[in-house]
Structure 1
Amino acid sequence: MSVIDLGGRVETWTRALVRPAHVHVVNLEGPTSDVPDWAEVDHGDACRLPAHIAARRYDLVFSNSVVEHVGGYERRLRFAESVHALADRHWVQTPYRYFPVEPHWLAPGMQFLPLRARVALARRWPLQHTVAASREDAVAEVLWTELLDYTQMRHLFPRSRIRTERLAGLPKSLIAVAG
């Protein structure tokens, strides 16, 4: 099986218990480690794929927690178009907007606060992955993170099954699955 991972990292696949024959990772960031012979990495925007990638076909498009970071409705549409064009099968996961804990900052209800309050929380919250270096960085990080709900996923992936990943019985993530 050949897999294209939009927004992922090779490290995810080196740690996987089962690995496809070939993995092509496309990310705005460069590789953070050596690239094994069964993988390739390209610098690219999943919403506007370079022609040499867009022309290829894969067995599966995989994307884990990326669509909420592509930058607004129009870019989410372009992302979904890329997913549909690259393969007949896909697995696209995103955190669920209405889960009570915002997963990027691990802050209860943060996604429901006004922008100013989210930025203030992003600058001070002790459980976040990376602390913003400045207020401007915090604004950018908060604006760059737009959690999706079921209706948005259904709109982006109309022919997919939308699966729900649950934690303690509550919907935690949505996964668009096709094929």
Structure 2
Amino acid sequence: MSEPKYRALRNRLVDAPGSVGERFRTARWLRFRAYFPDIDECEVVDLGGTADTWLRAPVRPRRLHLVNIDPHPAGLPDWISTEVADVTDPAVTAALGSFDLVYSNSTIEHVGGHSQRLRFAAAITTLAPRHWVQTPYRYFPVEPHFLAPGFQFLPLAARARLVRHWPLTHSRPDGPEEGLRAVVGIELLTRTEMRYLFPDSTLLSERVLGVTKSLLAVRGKGGSAHDRGLT
């Protein structure tokens, strides 16, 4: 299969409207709304998210503040504000103020080591009394960033080499240094670490065919986990 065909396959699996990934994201939004039925009235801070995610979402908070280390697009609607910052810096967290809810999706595995994850978790619990923190589960058979079976269990050097040739990666690195940079900053989490980082939260699972795909640390009001189908 040629590289354009592999890219088209990844798009059908993960990125395109109607893809498997899109269906999972839609189901997650519906669960999110079930857990936070007052989301329309909330001021939300999204740590690590993008405007596009929320503009395509079937839910909308009253106010949304996006915090990311990457630049944000211009021309966003007035209910979205943005900031380029790193909340693992306690000074940044202190300057942000307070919100009704912290939302973070597939970010905590990228912040850079256990100490940084501790700071990230501290920012989450400081910024709002409620939160929704999702991360891919380390022991799901397919690594979600590269769509490669067992990829996360390989030695770092092997991952850095493989990512330069694996056809389903989002963007293939050009050389050894770029390959290493693509993989070194991703550390998938286990249940034990998520419980350690969020001891006062409810830890929920998202499952595919009975196998846990993602973990959710949730704190806030809503129906029971059993009622929402999230256990």
Q: TM-score range by the shorter chain?
A: over 0.9
8 Å contact 1:61–1:89 — kept in the other structure?
yes
Query: Which structure is higher in helix share?
Result: 2
Report the Cα distance in structure 1 between the residues aligned to 2:199 and 2:160, rounded to whole angstroms. 33
Give, as a single letter, the amino acid of the residue that structure 2 aligns with 1:38. W
How does the TM-score come out when normalised to structure 1?
0.96
Distance 1:166 1:122 in 2: 26
Q: How far apart, in 1, do the equivalents of 2:143 and 2:208 lie?
A: 13
Task: Tell me which of 177, 188, 194 is aligned to 1:153.
Answer: 194
Name the amino acid aligned to 1:56. Answer: G
Specify the alignment match of 2:26 in structure 1.
Answer: none
Shift of 1:55: 4.5
| Structure 2 contact 93–127 (Cα < 8 Å) conserved | no
Equivalence map 1:18-167=2 (5 Å): 18-48=59-89, 50-51=91-92, 54-167=95-208
- Structure 2 unaligned segments of length 5 or more: list them: 1-41, 221-231
Distance 1:54 1:81, change over 3 A: farther
Distance in 2 (alpha carbons) for counterparts of 1:53 and 1:41: 16
Deviation at 1:52, TM superposition (A): 7.4
The one-letter amino acid of 2:173's match is: A
Residues 96 and 174, structure 1, Cα contact 8 Å, conserved in 2: yes
Contact 2:85–2:92 under 8 Å retained in 1: no
Q: Which blocks of at least 5 consecutive residues in structure 1 are unaligned?
A: none
Cross-structure match for 2:7: none
Q: How many angstroms apart in 2 are the aligned matches of 1:174 and 1:51?
A: 26
Contact 1:35–1:41 (8 Å) recurs in 2: no
Write the letter of the residue equivalent to 2:188: L
Query: Computing the radius of gyration over CA atoms, which structure comes out larger, 1 or 2?
Result: 2
Pick aligned residue for 1:174 from 215, 222, 225: 215
Whose strand proportion is higher, 1 or 2? Answer: 1
Query: Are the counterparts in 2 of residues 54 and 82 from structure 1 also a CA contact under 8 Å?
Result: no
Q: Distance in 2 between matches of 1:142 and 1:15?
A: 28
Q: Percent identity?
A: 51
Tell me the CA shift for residue 61 of structure 1.
0.2
CA distance in 1, matches of 2:89, 2:191: 24
Shift of 1:149: 0.4
Moved >2 Å (runs of 4+): 49-55
Deviations 1:12-62 (A, max 9, x none): 111111200100000011113522100101000121155476441101000
The answer to whether the Cα contact below 8 Å between 1:22 and 1:39 also exists between their aligned partners in 2 is yes
